[in-house]
Copies of this chain bind each other. A is one copy, B any other.
Amino acid sequence: MESAIRVNLPESAYEIAIAPGNLERLGPMMAQLKLGKQVLLVSNAAILRRYGESAIASLEAAGFTVATHLFPPGERYKTLASIQKLYDTALEHRLERSSTMVALGGGVVGDMTGFAAATWLRGVNFVQVPTSLLAMIDASIGGKTGVNHPRGKNLIGAFYQPKLVVIDPNVLQTLPTREFRAGMAEVIKYGIIWDADLFSKLEASPRLDQLRYLDPGLLQTIITRSCQAKADVVGQDEKEAGLRAILNYGHTIGHAVESLTGYRLVNHGEAVAIGMVAAGQLAVEMGLWSAECQARQLGSIQKANLPTQIPSFLDLDAIADTLSTDKKVQAGQVRFILPKDIGEVIISDRVSRDTLKQVLAQMQA
């Protein structure tokens, strides 16, 4: 089982290599790209302990000199202050423009390393080695990098493309179940917005809630098809001028729920699951898609054991207000991505605050 996806962008094309055992092939794969000899491997302590040795051995065997930098784990360290420490390490090891920062970790490590790579010396090389399902199929593809502002997630960042994305599904075996499910929320999203056939495959699987119940072939398919969906969309709209907005399906309300729960109680995937249910329900109310489709969406989300209700303690007005500070707001109007059919969504700025409040009220636990 081995897949390679090419992400085609006007100024930079790169490959996503997906195969069990890829971590041991990191060095040779990078060697083909004609990068400078110096690598700064960025990770966190827990991930480095598990996978650092393989990655470093592979890089050194391929002739790279490897320094490491560790971020403290978790979203709350996704700050400019953490980036400044990474800059210090980069300076200490005298990284040059031809040097490469390699992100070994989940979405937080990838987003921060990418932003540092984008902004150190006005841009050094960047390679992604995502270790969570969410990072593999979403964060590592498409060039969005950044950190949080105290008052909003990912408000500070840059579009910056990696030179290579290396995915080794074997590393998912140590991923906590809750994080696996969070990734599955984005897989379901790709089924709804882009790939009806992927959605059917998910429906055909008896369970989606734990890695060990998944057929290894299905896992490879899930990762590959999800990456392909994202690469297709990003390839057509790198800078989020239009089409790329559909990737935010479930994210508009999802971000608000995440933000209002302090990015801790509800994780990103769980928030997206809630957001997809809400978007689907809005679409039902507006006559855009059928109750049957909404039931199929709900079924797959429940099969992944993801939440479908808004936590009871959340203030619904606060959710509506938070939406208007989202960075995708245009001319003050919140844009929603709404489903039309399995595999097809539309972008709408015609959701009334009344309909929104009504749907949110229905969904509160």
B119 and A156 contact, CB distance less than 8 A: yes
Within 8 A of B (CB), among A68-90: 80, 84, 87
Query: Using an 8 Å CB-CB cutoff, how does the interface string of A248-277 with B read, 1 for contact, 0 for none?
Result: 000000000000000000000000000000
B330 and A149 contact, CB distance less than 8 A: no
With contact pairs A36-B331, A91-B149, A152-B91 given, residues A158 and B325 touching in the complex (Cβ less than 8 Å): no
Specify which chain B residues have a CB less than 8 angstroms from the CB of A158 in the assembled complex: 118-119, 122-123, 158
Alpha-carbon distance A125/B87, docked complex (angstroms):
26
Q: How many A residues, CB 8 Å from partner?
A: 39
Alpha-carbon distance A11/B123, docked complex (angstroms):
17
Copies in the complex: 2
Alpha-carbon distance A98/B118, docked complex (angstroms):
22
Specify which chain B residues have a CB less than 8 angstroms from the CB of A98 in the assembled complex: 330-331
B156 and A120 contact, CB distance less than 8 A: yes
Specify which chain B residues have a CB less than 8 angstroms from the CB of A157 in the assembled complex: 119, 121-122
Specify which chain B residues have a CB less than 8 angstroms from the CB of A239 in the assembled complex: 123
Q: Is A10 an interface residue (CB 8 A)?
A: yes
Q: Is A144 an interface residue (CB 8 A)?
A: yes
Q: Is A212 an interface residue (CB 8 A)?
A: no
From B96, B144, B325, contact of A329 by CB (8 A)? B96
Specify which chain B residues have a CB less than 8 angstroms from the CB of A84 in the assembled complex: 80
B159 and A123 contact, CB distance less than 8 A: yes
Select from chain B the residue with minimum beta-carbon distance to A96: B329
Select from chain B the residue with minimum beta-carbon distance to A90: B155
Specify which chain B residues have a CB less than 8 angstroms from the CB of A154 in the assembled complex: 122
Q: Is A49 an interface residue (CB 8 A)?
A: no
Specify which chain B residues have a CB less than 8 angstroms from the CB of A146 in the assembled complex: 119, 122
Q: Is A25 an interface residue (CB 8 A)?
A: no
Q: Is A94 an interface residue (CB 8 A)?
A: yes
Within 8 A of B (CB), among A87-136: 87, 91, 94, 96-98, 115, 118-123
With contact pairs A84-B80, A96-B330, A330-B96 given, residues A144 and B122 touching in the complex (Cβ less than 8 Å): yes
Chain A residues with CB under 8 Å of chain B are 10-11, 36-37, 80, 84, 87, 91, 94, 96-98, 115, 118-123, 144-146, 149, 151-152, 154-159, 239-240, 325, 327-331
Could you list 17 A-B pairs, sorted by A, with CB under 8 Å?
A10-B10, A10-B11, A80-B80, A87-B149, A91-B152, A96-B329, A96-B330, A96-B331, A119-B119, A119-B156, A120-B156, A121-B157, A122-B144, A122-B159, A123-B158, A123-B239, A158-B158
